[in-house]
Chain A
Amino acid sequence: MTAALEVRGLKTHFFTRSGAVKAVDGVDLSIERGRVLGLVGESGSGKSVTGLSILGLIDHPGRIVEGSVRLDGQELVGLDRDASRRVRGRRIAMIFQDPMMTLNPVLRVGTQMSMALRAHETVSNAVVRERSLKALGKVGLPAPEQCLAAYPHQLSGGMRQRVAIAIALLHSPSVIVADEPTTALDVSIQAQILQEMQRLGAETGVALVWITHDLAVVSSLAHDIAVMYAGRIVEYGPTADVLAQPRHPYTRGLLDSVPGEAEPGEKLAQIPGSIPALIDLPPGCAFRARCSRATGACETMPEIADIGGRLARCFHPLEAA
């Protein structure tokens, strides 16, 4: 069975005046139908650029310099403008962080949904309405009829995000890339959206790439987790394994930084320093300046390798507990 989405050796660089920024520098991912992959990282790790690259949404001065993105076996990198527009929105869709920015404020929800449908299909008004209502119902909006007639500002943040998800679902895509879709929402609304997404993944068989900085969110939602640092994946494996026994020192550091697990009032085990600038990264492991296990060997880039049932990019992985 071919994976719904297969990313191999993806490199996206931004060519700025002060040099090339290697935002994504060799990322491999694979995700099957009905599964959820959590793509985790801090700001500047390249997780959003990875998501945008998958959809072919990288603009000047950025460019995919190498690698392949296969959707149900079809190569997307190198497709011309028209061909990639036929794929985007129909077979692969994206949900963004801020639904206030992604919905058009001067068009009714119904108009926007019909535009999204008619971008790929020629359908009658009745069918548009029927399918829009169905999609809105799927994401758990209580009054789909009223919602179709509403403008985005009349909806709450959580409802707007549901509309964005409904639009993504209109063409029953194989893959949805969701970039921090619940970060702007309150916890109670976030839990509602996460519950819907879990259900939708199981019902529709859509493969979901969930980009976030919040490990707690992916810990309950994702089957697999990929941790990114400075444009590369440093650890990748089944969520339960990675969280219970991280092998890469960065993953371990991230997990220990989350309050709530630690004894209240005790100091958190922190990672010293901050994420390096992606311009002119020195050769070798990008994490080595912040890593307590770094040695001379870390001055060359470690390959990502199978360590105890998951992939990790480290010369000195943590031992299994």
Chain B
Amino acid sequence: MSAPLLELDAVSRRFSRKISLGDRIAAKLGAPVETREVRAVENVSLSVMKGETLGLVGESGCGKSTLGRIAAGILPPSAGTARLDGKPVMAEDGRHQKLTTRVQTVFQDPFASLNPRKRIGETIGEGPLAHGLIDRAGSRAYVAEQLSRVGLDPSYASRFPHQFSGGQRQRIAIARALAMKPDLLICDEPVASLDVSIQAQVLNLFLDLRRALNLTAIFISHDLGVVRHLSDRVAIMYLGRIVEIGPANEIYAAPKHPYTQALLASVPRLNRHREGRTAFKPIAGELPSPLSPPPGCHFHPRCALATERCRTEPPQLRPLGPMRWAACHLAE
């Protein structure tokens, strides 16, 4: 681990409603037009070292998938840049074009991410062919190699997605991403839709491939157990901001940010050697709407420790130990 492979530099992403022609005319005539925007990602900087797996955790609406998509070059950031080996992932001249094939993504739902009308051999071979990684003559052998690497029989290449189970489809999606020989793999909730026994199979495959190919990865999930199992470092997100980042074992052992503490406490744990039932310790209150996040620290309405300062001044990420950062005025 020396130089960062991926650097996100003060990345933000806002989503706003498209202004229709009607709205524009109304605005011209002086009528107030609603311009609500969602700040999905707000001023996030982080780096991923070569060979490292970074876990990105948060509840729905916290911006983890949006951040993943910016890193993958699928969504252009509204501000800031994503750089791979020092070079931008996306063209910054307004064309919004992805410039590199070295970042690939595995999506959550393998039912939606595979073209149902294409044989999976075509799906896997399409990218490498288009980008000249292989030629047409070698494509069949290449696809076979990719399939056997993810534990599928090469003869499956001529089948359609509907002939596979969820776990197998996710293997196909992984094979498709790896066929592009990426340096960085973005996994956006790749096991969320799978049953536990199948999930374990896919997680094991991921561990094997990471070791064999020396992959760098961002693993996005709401499942804290899965992230702990796979990640070297973990970043916790809340309403578009990173609230804590650090080595996985340290964060799980001693979380610094109150949100991380509360989140870890509210996860039901499978403690196999516990006597009887245990009490749940939920976080008070509801997740605020990302349309109107609370001022200051976004977590303050649900935080038991919040002070006047938390209500007004947004905390910045600050170092709290070797490799550990948290965005809280009070954390030590």
Contacts and interface: CB of A to CB of B under 8 A. Distances in A.
A270 B200 contact: yes
Interface stretch (A51-59, A66-74, A257-265): A257-265
Contact of B200 (A186, A240, A259): A259
A190 B266 contact: yes
A194 interface: yes
Chain B interface size range: 35 or more
Nearest to B232: A265
A188 B196 contact: no
Interface string A274-285: 110000000000
B195 A43 contact: yes
A216 B281 contact: no
Interface stretch (A105-113, A117-125, A217-225): A217-225
Interface in A193-250: 194-195, 198, 213-217, 219-223, 239-240, 243-244
B197 A198 contact: no
Contacts of A60: none
Interface in B227-257: 228-231, 248-249
B266 A257 contact: no
A255 B273 CA distance: 12
A153 to B, nearest CB: 13
Nearest to A267: B204
Given A195-B279, A216-B269, A262-B229, A270 B204 contact: yes
B198 A188 contact: no
Given A187-B224, A189-B287, A265-B207, A219 B270 contact: yes
A257 B270 contact: no
B127 to A, nearest CB: 28
A269 B199 CA distance: 11
A159 B286 CA distance: 9
Interface residues of A, number: 49
Interface string B258-302: 000011001111111111111111110011000000000000000
Interface string B158-196: 000000010100000000000000000000000000011
Nearest to B278: A220
Contacts of B59: 186-188
Given A191-B283, A264-B249, A268-B203, A217 B277 contact: no
Contact of B269 (A42, A219, A223, A244): A219
B222 interface: yes
A244 B167 contact: no
Nearest to B229: A259
Nearest to A223: B277
Contacts of A244: 272-273
B201 interface: yes
Interface in A26-82: 42-43
A137 interface: no
B229 A268 contact: yes
B226 interface: yes
A220 B249 contact: no
Interface of B: 59-60, 165, 167, 195-201, 203-204, 207-208, 222-226, 228-231, 248-249, 262-263, 266-283, 286-287
12 contacts: A191-B282, A192-B280, A219-B271, A239-B276, A259-B199, A259-B226, A260-B226, A260-B229, A265-B229, A267-B207, A268-B204, A270-B197
10 tightest CB-CB pairs across the interface, nearest first? A260-B225, A191-B266, A191-B282, A257-B200, A259-B229, A42-B195, A186-B59, A192-B282, A216-B270, A195-B280
